[in-house]
Amino acid sequence: MSDPLIIAGTEIKSRFFLGTGKFSSYKLMREAIEASGAHVVTVALRRVDTRARQENILEFIPKGCIIMANTSGARSGEEAVRIARLSRALGAGSWIKIEVIPDNTYLLPDNAETIKATEQLVKEGFVVMPYMNPDLADAKRLRDAGASSIMPLGAPIGTNKGLLTRELVRILIEEIELPIIVDAGLGRPSHAAEAMELGAQAVLVNTAVAVSNDPVATAKAFSLAVCAGRMSYVAGVNPESERARASSPLTGFLKEKE
């Protein structure tokens, strides 16, 4: 059964998005991207150096991938807009993940500033994917501002705690008619599968892959988990029950009298 993910008129070949931070080398990063089959890859502007001959990160991203620059380091909507413009000028394209994070302790996004940046960048022709605290009212504001997807956090960045915001994400999936892409905090392939079974359209993972003992194998495991979770969601997950139900009849066994 065909189950395409379409964002901004583009069919995305993989529902597993991969970030490029924290890898020990660009070569290892490339191998992880290839193993996962990721189609959308995020890159922070500070790692883009088009003047570098051997260590330009863009040269290590497989051809055919969509490069989605992120505004990592922005503390306001204004800074996020400036970073997005610089990123496009450096050749990273028009797909942009908006991150506005003024909080140094928990690295939680500022939804209000994110909305401001989204409004401006949509006007300038960017494909905007805002990272946000999962709040329904703010998700609607981002949708109305022209966002191409909504990217709620599963847990604080880099914590590997999984889908702590499960119920809030579920509400966004139910109420927002844009792709919901769970971003941040997913530490295990099972976390990714859980998000997909809930109905998320995709997940974005970075730390859990990049700092694992074997980033290439972990990237592949996450990709398989995303596929399994999506297949389960499309097939229809059975509801939970308070009472046990036998999978085989309990009466009539060996002519047992009822």
Catalytic residues: 97
CB 68 within 8 A of CB 59: no
Q: Which residues pair with 175 in a beta bridge?
A: none
Give the CA angle between residues 228, 232, 235 to the nearest 5°: 135
Residue 67 to residue 4: CA distance in whole angstroms: 19
Assigned token pair, 206:
């970075």
Sheet of strand 16-19, all strands in order from the earlier edge strand to the far edge? 151-152, 127-132, 95-98, 66-70, 40-44, 16-19, 202-205, 181-183
Backbone torsion region of residue 22, taken as left when φ is above 0, otherwise alpha when ψ lies between -120 and 50, otherwise beta:
left
Q: Tokens 């890859």, residue?
A: 41
Nearest CA among 195, 234, 178 for reference residue 6: 178
Q: Where are the beta strands (DSSP E) in the chain?
A: 5-7, 10-12, 16-19, 40-44, 66-70, 95-98, 127-132, 151-152, 181-183, 202-205
Residue 207 to residue 73: CA distance in whole angstroms: 17
